[in-house]
Structure 1
Amino acid sequence: MRLHYLQHVPFENPGSILQWARENGHVLTNTQLYQHDSLPAQADFDWLVIMGGPMNIYEEAIYPWLAAEKTFIRAAIDAGKVVIGLCLGGQLIADVIGGKVTRNPYKEIGWFPVSLTEAARLSPLFSFFPPQPVVFQWHGDTFSVLPAEAVCIAASDACKHQAFVYKNRVFGFQYHLENTPSIIAGLIENCRAEMIADKYVQTPEELLAHPEYIEKSNKWMELFLTQLEKMDREGLL
């Protein structure tokens, strides 16, 4: 399987997703959008992973490559690819399928629980999650409105749409299961100015104090990807 990922800043790479892909012998390619790399042809990859980043989806005047990226994501969805979006990546997916991305009532930075729907937990893709997993958040915007075909599968007190599934093959996550200690350290180093004390904003020390949360999150991502690959291979998506 050929996995391509879109990266928006040097300090937010796919983390544990890269490890999973390498361990399973998958071909990895990437587009570093902040370096103005060219996007590949749709025929050159099977899965698309879209990473997070500190920019917002509507800042095309500052980041002109966002326009081409949105067109590319829409084409991948239309081509029937498996598409996974994380934080900004999930917001970009929501935008191109007809949803709306706006400022969330609260900025979320840190480790917080989300509640998965019963339907999600009955799915083999998410059945191994606990009812309220503690996950890593770093966002101010969110996909506040989803189109009818997109099914919300997770929510929290701070953010009503934490994850969604679209047409069984497209997944948007507001939170991060892929982050490693080095990615979290990079976020703190490069985005510390966003960490203004608030109800759902933790301190740098709190973000770095939970290696057990990172381990659990990475394991959940591994199980999700493994099951997704199996279902994709067997034509069950």
Structure 2
Amino acid sequence: MLLRPIDDFSRVASPALQPAGQAADTRPVLMILHQETSTPGRVGNALRALGHPLDIRRPRFGAALPETLDGHAGVVVFGGPMSANDPDDYIRREIDWIAVPLRERRPFLGICLGAQMLAAQLGARVSPHPEGRAEIGYYDIRPTAAGLAMCAQWPRQVYHWHCEGFALPTGAELLAEGGDFPVQAIRAGSAYGLQFHPDVTCAMLHRWTTRGHERLELPGARPRRDHFADRALHDAAERAWLADFLDHWLTRMPAALPALPLREAAE
């Protein structure tokens, strides 16, 4: 018998995910990555299972971003070790570019750094924890009423790797909250931001805790052994939630969305 790997999402590729009478949207999803070795991980696996090719671009290394998302079903901006507050030109350009999916009201998902870039575009503060604490490992999140209306079942704990967080932007809905970093998931029109990492596969977990082992010494970070022990407890719920979330994000987006205040482009 052929066993599927634990990070396989082929089970979610079902015609039932499409509303009745609506043709499947098989345009590619734009994937914005920030390191040479980064991958779209579990999010990429899930989107491929839904029938979407992946258009992977790394603007940090010179890849151009499209002037419109007419040719894409949506866009995902992933994490990275840099900060949304860094002065690098590619960071400023990428935050400015997020105005494109916001203006066109196209599905946008920011994960960790990507969520912080979204918050910066919407005028919210991105900053370290006031006591220098980090969330590196599994931590509790609590869905709000708005979060439960979107996805009925949320995992109790999700995987994090960050030492900065962001304030709730004006006009955005809080979908999930946490402890040291209260804003964990938001929706702003057609855009969603997640402070945590549902994209992490088991291979990525090994790589991050090996190459980034010095971050495990930060205040609040979990020891390496806990990352794997907690994954055994919480990963199935996080994986099931991700499938439900992506279904909502791409196929059940509300038709009428509020306009959002957009940031002026940096000079």
Q: TM-score of the superposition, structure 1-length normalised?
A: 0.88
1:201 aligns with 2:224: no
The answer (yes or no) to whether the contact 1:11–1:183 under 8 Å persists in 2 is: no
CA distance in 2, matches of 1:197, 1:235: 43
The aligned residue for residue 87 of structure 2 is: 60
- The residue matched to 1:162 in structure 2 has which SS? strand
Deviations 1:173-216 (A, max 9, x none): 11111211111122122322222153x21111211232342332
Structure 1 segments unaligned to the other structure (5+ residues): none
The aligned residue for residue 138 of structure 1 is: 161
Mapping 1:1-237, distance limit 5 Å = 1-42=27-68, 43-61=70-88, 64-105=89-130, 106-121=133-148, 123=149, 125-129=150-154, 133-143=156-166, 145-167=167-189, 169-198=190-219, 200-209=220-229, 210-232=231-253, 235=255
Deviations 1:43-62 (A, max 9, x none): 3323010101111011123x
The answer (yes or no) to whether the contact 1:109–1:137 under 8 Å persists in 2 is: yes
Instruction: Return 209-218 or 87-96, whichever deviates more.
Output: 209-218
The structure with the largest alpha-carbon Rg is 2
The answer (yes or no) to whether the contact 1:178–1:217 under 8 Å persists in 2 is: no
The answer (yes or no) to whether the contact 2:77–2:111 under 8 Å persists in 1 is: yes
Letter aligned with residue 97 of structure 1: L
* Overall identity of the aligned pairs, in %: 22
The answer (yes or no) to whether the contact 1:181–1:211 under 8 Å persists in 2 is: no
CA distance in 1, matches of 2:129, 2:140: 17
CA distance in 2, matches of 1:31, 1:155: 30
Structure 2 segments unaligned to the other structure (5+ residues): 1-26, 258-267
Shift in Å, 1:134: 0.6
- The residue matched to 2:85 in structure 1 has which SS? coil
Letter aligned with residue 228 of structure 2: L
State the aligned residue count: 227
CA distance in 1, matches of 2:104, 2:56: 19
| Structure 1 residue runs of 4 or more that deviate by more than 4 Å after TM superposition | none
Higher strand share: 1
Alpha carbons of 1:113 and 1:11: their partners in 2 closer, same or farther (altered >3 Å)? Answer: farther
CA distance in 1, matches of 2:256, 2:42: 25
Letter aligned with residue 195 of structure 2: Q
- The residue matched to 2:255 in structure 1 has which SS? coil
Q: TM-score of the superposition, structure 2-length normalised?
A: 0.79
